[in-house]
Chains A and B, each alone.
Chain A
Amino acid sequence: MNPFDLDETIHQRTRLGIMTVLYEAGEADFAFLKSTLDLTDGNLGRHIEVLAAAGYVATRRGYDGRRARTWVSLTPQGTSALRIEVDMLRDIVGRVQPSQN
Chain B
Amino acid sequence: MTIEEILQTRVRATRRATSIPLIVVPIGVILVALSPLVDLDFEVGMVVTPVVALALWISMKVTAVRAGVGMGRERYGLIVIVIALVSTVWLIQLALGPAFLLGVLLFFVGWRSLDRGQWTAGAIIAVASPVLSYSLIQTLVYRIEEALTGAVWETAMAADDVVLLLLGVFFLVSGLKRFGRESATLRRRSS
Taking Cβ atoms with an 8 Å cutoff, the residues of A that contact B are: 13, 16-17, 20-21, 23-29, 31-32, 36-37, 64, 69, 71, 73, 86
Residues of B close to A20: CB separation below 8 A? 4, 7-8
Residues of A close to B16: CB separation below 8 A? none
- The answer to whether B3 touches A25 (Cβ under 8 A) is no
A-B contact pairs, 21 of them (CB 8 A): A13-B3, A17-B4, A20-B7, A21-B11, A24-B7, A24-B8, A24-B12, A24-B72, A25-B70, A26-B70, A27-B69, A28-B11, A28-B68, A28-B70, A29-B68, A29-B69, A32-B14, A36-B7, A36-B10, A69-B68, A86-B4
- The answer to whether A31 touches B68 (Cβ under 8 A) is yes
Interface size on B, residues (CB 8 A): 19
How many residue pairs between the two chains, A and B, have CB atoms under 8 Å in the bound complex? 53
A88 to B11, CA, bound (A): 24
Residues of A close to B7: CB separation below 8 A? 17, 20-21, 24, 36-37
Most buried by B among A28, A64, A73, A86: A28
- B73 at interface by CB-CB < 8 Å: yes
A26 to B64, CA, bound (A): 10
By secondary structure, the A interface counts as helix
Residues of A close to B73: CB separation below 8 A? 23-24, 26
